[in-house]
Structure 1
Amino acid sequence: MNIQKFEFNMFPVNSYVLWDDTKEAVVIDPGVFFDTEKEQLKKFIADNGLKIKHLLNTHLHLDHILGNTFMFQEYGIKAEASQDDEYWLEGVAQQGRMFGFEVNDEPVPLGKYLKEGDQIHFGNQTLDIFQVPGHSPGSLVFYNQATGDAFSGDVLFQGSVGRADLQGGNFTALKENIIKKLFILPDETVVHAGHGPSTTIGREKKYNPFFTDVTTH
């Protein structure tokens, strides 16, 4: 499986394009906001001859969904995410103004709800879906067991975890779910986070300061 990471928008967010030799692809968390970013993503997809099969959101906080409308307009595809986060689609323009910018695109309704145990298929690849609430009620992690890659959104970062002080957040649940759902994965699993650098499950079990009070080995 091929992975291309982009850093988009003012936050900035890691957006991912995944594909294989079949040229079928998925886009995770399209954070494109500026016109130059939209053109960059569009050019990459065209230059590689990719056919977008799925648009996936790890969660529906504003910074991760800024490009959903663009993806619908360009490729006719709606995002798939957890229904538990759907309320975040309301008041997107107001959320933008809170951060000092205007969001002019109307949010596109979700095309499909995803939940624990579902799978995403594209080309010869399969992504398993874990529900890992705590950062948001509907936070999802997409895991390719065959390649050892996990796309964690804002659940788990290198040396940190997602904030839990936004609406619907729960820090205790976040820690418990990371231990129960993610720390059971192989240590060599690469964690592709929603912000910042990638890491591994083994590294976070050993060094992440949020888990020094628990036994994860």
Structure 2
Amino acid sequence: MKSIVIPVTAFQQNCTILGCETTRLGAVVDPGGELDRIMAAAEDAGFTLSKILLTHAHADHAAGAAALSAQLGIPIEGPQRDDAFWIEILPQQCRMFGLPGTTVFTPDRWLEHGDTVSFGAETLEVLHCPGHTPGHVVFFHRSQRLALVGDVLFKGSIGRTDFPRGDYDILIRSIRERLFPLGDDVTFIPGHGPTSTFGDERRCNPFVRNGPTA
């Protein structure tokens, strides 16, 4: 599986294209905006986008989902349904943060902890990791040791919990009990900024270091 990270919007949100190198089908994770750039990157890499995956429903991650789904005729999967209220206020979010307008949508599939999502010959495991938002999910490719963690965890930091229904204690528990046990060797793509590994964050991240080891 190939991954292509494309920072989009004024928030430089890491939209990621995941491509199955066997079938050349791809999934796009968190298309927050700049859809022309996203589609051009997929075309340049030789992947046909077949699915949209959402970690959570903040505008910088989800504002482009409805338009991309309509344009390409592909389904939206995720996040977990507790983020429905964020989707319902996507237009207000966009106005508040100066992002291009969007429309409210209902995902074709809500995701739950323990689900899997597939595209081409690739399968990702779904982990419900609330705290930043109540319906936040993480996508994990076990054989490649790669996780797409949205705004749960960053290199040297963690997601904000001061938005509606954010919860600091729940976020820390999500990281320590659902992410770190996957293994120190797992590389993660965060919603913003550079990649890191769970091991580096467990050892060095001031918010979550000294959590349980795998």
Q: TM-score, normalization: structure 2? A: 0.93
Which amino acid counterpart does residue 203 of structure 1 have in structure 2?
A: D
Cα distance in 2 between the residues matched to 1:12 and 1:51: 24
Aligned to 2:156: 159
Structure 1, unmatched stretches of 5+, are none
Which residue number in structure 1 is paired with residue 91 of structure 2?
93
Question: What SS does the aligned partner of 2:181 have?
Answer: coil
Match of 2:14 in 1: 14
Cα distance, 1:204 vs structure 2: 0.4
Instruction: Write the distance in 1 (CA, Å) between the matches of 2:44 and 2:99.
Output: 31
- Equivalent position of 1:109 in the other structure: 106
Aligned residue in 1 for 2:121 = 124
The number of aligned residues is 211
- Between stretches 124-133 and 69-78, larger displacement belongs to 69-78
Distance 2:7 2:109 in 1: 25
1:60 matched to 2:57? The reply is: yes
What are the Cα deviations for residues 39-96 of structure 1, in whole angstroms up to 9, with x where unaligned? 2222222333322232100001111012112211221123211111011112222222
1:84 alignment partner AA? D
Q: 1:71·1:78 contact (CA, 8 Å) conserved in 2?
A: no
- Residue in 2 aligned with 1:31? 32
Contact 2:30 2:55 in 1 (8 A): yes
Asked if the contact 1:78–1:108 (Cα under 8 Å) also holds between the matched residues in 2, the reply is: no
The letter for the 2-side match of 1:80 is: E
Q: 1:100 to 1:38 in 2, by over 3 A?
A: closer
Contact 1:142 1:150 in 2 (8 A): yes
- Cα distance between partner residues in 2 of 1:167 and 1:112: 23
Same amino acid, percent of matched pairs = 35
Please say if residues 50 and 75 of structure 2, whose CA atoms lie closer than 8 Å, have aligned partners that are also in contact.
no
Give yes or no for contact 2:153–2:190 (8 Å, CA) kept in 1. Answer: yes
Aligned to 1:47: 44
CA-atom RMSD, angstroms? 1.5
C-alpha contact 2:52 2:69 (8 A) present in aligned 1: no
Residue 101 of structure 1, CA deviation: 4.6
Shift of 1:123: 2.1
Tell me, in whole angstroms, the C-alpha distance in 2 between the residues paired with 1:172 and 1:15: 27
Cα separation, 1, equivalents of 2:64 and 2:92: 17
